[in-house]
């Protein structure tokens, strides 16, 4: 079977990491072609052959005419490359590319790999975004199949966009626990930082990840635990705002160079984040929305205790026996980690009072970090849960799904 994996780029996003990992899973059994929108230096390890549509990405300031022009150019380029590769199945990894994947279907069977809670994606609130959502409603029913990474994302598609539930399957991302453990080496220059208790978070510095809430929470926590450190992995549009907020809160803030004695460390994108995760006392996910956060699962694979906002997918990882649609309003010590109420997403300044959720997070994180028994218990259970997302189990589900898609064609 010839399989195309179509995504914007192999960058530092969770979707790119999931697509790259899937290429390795599928290439053991099928011919895999990784197709990205524009030429770049991949940040992910991938398997198969690599192809580029060579259409530049839209920029945030681009007007509707240019965005539409790029949309059409991408359709033409994608149709051409699909024909050249003679694909049997084409799997796409973003809403716009999935629409284009479906519209360019020829002899290939288009499959949507859905990694978001679409109705809550604030990046699609402008005219272009509303158009994308309208096209999702019109085109997704024509896909050969839709794979969602969580029940949260699947339910959102069926309830908010009228997609037939029979068309949707849920297959979570996989994590290779052995490979992650083998790669968990902390760079020597960072070792002194981790002699103190460390809270770690990882993700692109964007609105959806909500890191400013965690920085505000940390500033209060540090008053209670003076030697506590916060390490933030990732880069993005909000870096300048987040660094400024940290400094305005009176926190000694590392922004580059040699990591010395600081309170908050902006460590940037790390190609290998696993050493940081393995040496942290607690991994915290303050996201406003998540379908199935890969970074949370990777931290758990290393036995790092986790606390996460109950913003979608984290519940399915940490409390799998609960109702996936439930949202807690208080601290929930779940089976495999701690769930807390999601934040309101308001971008506050340093001198603004903590909101209700931020105050609750301060109390809960303080309780967790200062209780070694709780940390040790969740450390053991975290790795136990991570093992349930093994490559072999997830590979089998993908192969069965793709075989069924081709047979139905």
Q: Tell me which residue of 67, 308, 277, 126 sits closest to 209, measured CA to CA.
A: 308
Q: What's the pLDDT band for 129 if we cut at 50, 70, 90?
A: confident
> What's 290's DSSP letter?
B
- In this predicted model, what pLDDT tens digit does every residue of 171-217 receive, in sequence order? 999 999 999 999 999 999 999 999 999 999 999 999 999 999 999 99
pLDDT score recorded for residue 71: 85
Mean pLDDT of 112-129: 85
Question: To 10 degrees, the CA torsion angle through 286, 198, 205, 213?
Answer: 40
> What's 259's DSSP letter?
-
Q: What's the pLDDT band for 395 if we cut at 50, 70, 90?
A: very high
Question: What average pLDDT does the chain have?
Answer: 94
Q: Which residue has the higher pLDDT, 119 or 196?
A: 196
Question: To 10 degrees, the CA torsion angle through 7, 40, 179, 228?
Answer: -100
CA gap 159, 151 in Å, rounded: 12
Tell me which residue has tokens 């607690």: 282
**Close Cβ partners of 88 (under 8 Å, ≥ 6 residues apart):** 1, 2, 3, 107, 108, 109, 406
pTM: 0.91
Check: CB of residue 24 under 8 Å from CB of residue 111: no
Q: How many CA atoms lie within 13 A of 70 on its CB side?
A: 17
Query: Where in 197-341 does DSSP place strands (E)?
Result: 198-202, 229-233, 253-254, 264-268, 282-285, 306-309, 332-333, 338-340
Tell me which residue has tokens 């959502």: 133
- In this predicted model, what pLDDT tens digit does every residue of 76-97 receive, in sequence order? 999 999 999 999 999 999 998 9
Q: What's the pLDDT band for 322 if we cut at 50, 70, 90?
A: very high
pLDDT score recorded for residue 48: 95
Q: Which of 110-124, 210-224, 324-338, 382-396 has the lowest mean pLDDT?
A: 110-124
Check: CB of residue 23 under 8 Å from CB of residue 3: no
**Close Cβ partners of 142 (under 8 Å, ≥ 6 residues apart):** 102, 105, 110
Q: Which of 117-126, 228-237, 357-366, 389-398 has the lowest mean pLDDT?
A: 117-126
Q: What's the pLDDT band for 259 if we cut at 50, 70, 90?
A: very high
Mean pLDDT of 167-173: 95
pLDDT score recorded for residue 125: 76
Is the per-residue pLDDT at 128 higher than 80? no
Mean pLDDT of 234-257: 97
DSSP string, 59-104: PTT--HHHHHHHHHHHHHHHHHHHHHHT-SEEEE-SHHHHHHHHHT
């Amino acid at each position: 079977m010839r399989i195309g994996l179509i995504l914007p780029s192999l960058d530092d996003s969770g979707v790119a990491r999931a697509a790259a990992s899937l290429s390795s899973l599928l290439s053991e059994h099928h011919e895999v072609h990784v197709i990205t929108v524009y030429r770049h230096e991949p940040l992910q390890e991938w398997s198969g052959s690599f192809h580029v549509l060579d259409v530049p990405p839209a920029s945030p300031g681009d007007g509707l005419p240019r965005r539409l022009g790029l949309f059409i150019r991408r359709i033409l380029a994608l149709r051409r490359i699909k024909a050249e590769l003679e694909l049997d199945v084409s799997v796409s990894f973003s809403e716009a590319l999935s629409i284009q994947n479906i519209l360019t279907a020829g002899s290939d069977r288009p499959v949507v790999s859905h990694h978001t809670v679409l109705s809550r994606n604030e990046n699609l609130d402008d005219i272009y975004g509303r158009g994308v959502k309208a096209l999702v409603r019109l085109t997704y029913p024509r896909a050969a199949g839709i794979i969602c990474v969580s029940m949260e994302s699947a339910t959102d598609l069926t309830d908010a966009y009228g997609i037939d539930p029979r068309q949707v399957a849920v297959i979570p991302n996989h994590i290779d626990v052995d490979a992650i453990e083998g790669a968990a080496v902390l760079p020597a220059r960072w070792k002194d930082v981790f002699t103190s208790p460390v809270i770690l978070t990882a993700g692109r510095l964007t609105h959806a990840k909500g890191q400013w809430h965690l920085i505000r929470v940390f500033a209060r926590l540090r008053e209670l635990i003076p030697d506590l450190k916060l390490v933030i992995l990732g880069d993005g549009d909000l870096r300048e705002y987040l660094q400024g907020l940290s400094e305005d809160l009176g926190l000694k803030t590392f922004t580059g160079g040699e990591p010395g004695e600081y309170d908050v460390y902006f460590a940037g994108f790390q190609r290998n984040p696993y050493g940081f995760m393995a040496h942290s006392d607690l991994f915290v996910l303050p996201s406003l929305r998540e379908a199935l956060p890969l970074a949370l699962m990777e931290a758990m694979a290393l036995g790092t205790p986790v606390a996460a906002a109950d913003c979608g997918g984290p519940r399915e990882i940490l409390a799998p026996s609960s109702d996936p649609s439930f949202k807690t309003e208080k601290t929930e010590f779940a089976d495999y980690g701690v769930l807390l109420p999601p934040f309101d997403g308001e971008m506050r300044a340093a001198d603004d009072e903590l909101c209700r959720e931020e105050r609750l997070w301060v109390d809960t994180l303080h309780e967790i970090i200062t209780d070694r028994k709780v940390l040790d218990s969740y450390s053991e259970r975290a790795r136990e849960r991570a093992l349930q997302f093994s490559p072999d189990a997830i590979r089998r589900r993908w192969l069965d799904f793709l075989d069924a898609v081709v047979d139905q064609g």
